[in-house]
Structure 1
Amino acid sequence: MIEVAAAIIENGQGRILIARRKKGKSQEGLWEFPGGKLEPGESPEACLVRELQEEMGIEISPYSYFGENEHDYGTVQIKLIAYLATYSHGEIRLVDHDDYRWSKREELREYEWAPADVPFVDWLIDRDLS
Structure 2
Amino acid sequence: MPVRSAGLLIYRFFETRLEVLLVHPGGPFWAKKDEGAWSIPKGLIEPGEDELSAAIREAQEELGVEIQGAFARLGEYRQPSGKVVVVWSVEANATLSVQQIQSSEFQIEWPPRSGRIQNFPEVDRAEWFPTARAEIKILKGQRAMIADLLKQLG
Q: Structure 1 length as normaliser, TM-score?
A: 0.78
Q: Which protein shows a greater Rg?
A: 2
- Conserved? CA contact 1:80–1:116, under 8 Å: no
**Which residue number corresponds to residue 153 of structure 2?**
129
* Superposed displacement of residue 124, structure 1: 3.4
Q: Secondary structure at the match of 1:31?
A: coil
* Superposed displacement of residue 35, structure 1: 1.4
Provide the rounded CA distance (Å) in 2 between the counterparts of 1:35 and 1:71.
Answer: 13
* Superposed displacement of residue 128, structure 1: 5.0
**Which residue number corresponds to residue 4 of structure 1?**
5
Provide the rounded CA distance (Å) in 1 between the counterparts of 2:73 and 2:92.
Answer: 16
Provide the rounded CA distance (Å) in 2 between the counterparts of 1:52 and 1:114.
Answer: 17
* Superposed displacement of residue 65, structure 1: 0.3
Query: Does residue 92 of the first structure (1) align with residue 98 of the second (2)?
Result: no
Provide the rounded CA distance (Å) in 2 between the counterparts of 1:54 and 1:22.
Answer: 13
* Superposed displacement of residue 25, structure 1: 5.7
Unmatched runs of 5 consecutive residues or more in structure 1: none
Q: Secondary structure at the match of 1:32?
A: coil
Query: Does residue 51 of the first structure (1) align with residue 55 of the second (2)?
Result: no
Q: Indicate the structure with greater strand content.
A: 1
- Which structure 2 residues correspond to residues 8-19 of structure 1 after superposition, within 5 A? 8-11=9-12, 13=14, 14-19=18-23
Q: Secondary structure at the match of 1:48?
A: helix
Q: Structure 2 length as normaliser, TM-score?
A: 0.67
Q: Secondary structure at the match of 2:135?
A: helix
- Conserved? CA contact 1:5–1:81, under 8 Å: yes
Provide the rounded CA distance (Å) in 1 between the counterparts of 2:23 and 2:144.
Answer: 16
Provide the rounded CA distance (Å) in 1 between the counterparts of 2:90 and 2:29.
Answer: 25
Judged with a 3 Å threshold, the aligned counterparts in structure 2 of structure 1 residues 81 and 63 are, in CA distance, closer, same or farther, namely same
- Conserved? CA contact 1:105–1:124, under 8 Å: no
- RMSD after superposition: 2.4
**Which residue number corresponds to residue 25 of structure 2?**
21
